[in-house]
Amino acid sequence: MSGNLFIKQFFKLLHQKKPAEDIKKHYIEKVLHAVFFFGRVHKRMVNPVDFLGPKVCQSLQAKFPRPFEQYSTHLPCLTPYSILLQFGTEVVGCSTQEQMESFLCDFNKTLQEELEQETNLKPSEFVFRAAVVAFSIYREPKDGAATPLFYGASLSCSGLLERKIMIAILCIQTWHKAVAFAVHHGEHNLAIVFPDGVQSRAFYYTDGAFVEKQPCVKCTKMFHVDFQPPADSAMENSRWLYGNCAENESLSKLLQGIPGLQERVVSTHTPPQPNTYQAIEQEFADIIENSFRNHLVQLLHEKRSFSHLPLQFF
């Protein structure tokens, strides 16, 4: 089962890296809660004891009660694989492309070995592993000075309803307002335009390695940015949702992480509508946030197993 394997491998990772106890507790709680939440809203509900077994479940609940108490009342702010990315950056200290890819490849390979030994799942059926990761970077045009890499992952959860729920959560609670603006307007041919010097690169995982990929059509509609490799004009429209791709999280982290960069982002709104960053923020406050919030409430209402009002975040 995907959730059981992800939890086991994450615990092994914590044992290897030996972070401080408070950091360890923080990440255990985040991963357990996210996995339990997705089990709760799955079309065939999966409870914590189903993921862990009675003995392990009882032991973990005694040590980390909060995720067990709140997975049916509080919403996760990240998918499991995005939590792994955060761990790679903040705890392991991956600061280069080579370091992050090595870290993720090791985790993915260990998962795959466990898949082959313990389950009948194909690697493509493992729902908590992101299919694509992306990084964005800003290079100052005047002197070429580069920022750190900001990594993101495609949505690592199964089911259309689960993905819709998670995109709404991310747009309300986690992602930058300009990215939420782009997701909201994806079908309206409105985009956000990044300043010169911002670059985005995406990679898909296959056969034990990350391979560079072009952006999908939806990303090119949402984000006017220097994609490398550039998009192919002959590409067909992708079937997944606006907000599904790794570029959303990556570009969001970039805007949140580089002081002053967000003010240089504009939209493709045409006069008389303003296109400034201030106008993007205003539209988020006036319209977009409530639109996602109402959509999220509606989606959660379909899952009567989740006590969703008022909205609370883990």
Cα–Cα distance, 21 to 89 (Å, whole number): 18
Residue 97 DSSP label:
H
pLDDT at 144: 78
Cα–Cα distance, 60 to 285 (Å, whole number): 40
pLDDT at 170: 98
Cβ-based neighbours of 181, under 8 Å, separated by 6 or more: 190, 192, 267, 280, 283, 284, 288
pLDDT at 185: 96
pLDDT at 246: 96
pLDDT at 45: 84
pLDDT at 216: 93
Contact present, 168 and 313 (Cβ < 8 Å):
no
Cα–Cα distance, 242 to 98 (Å, whole number): 29
pLDDT at 212: 95
pLDDT at 126: 58
Q: Consecutive sets of 10 residues in the chain, 314 residues long: mean pLDDT of each? A: 86 94 97 94 87 91 95 94 96 95 93 75 66 94 86 89 94 98 94 96 92 94 95 75 95 97 95 93 97 93 75 93
Contact present, 166 and 256 (Cβ < 8 Å):
no
Cα–Cα distance, 297 to 43 (Å, whole number): 17
pLDDT at 119: 63
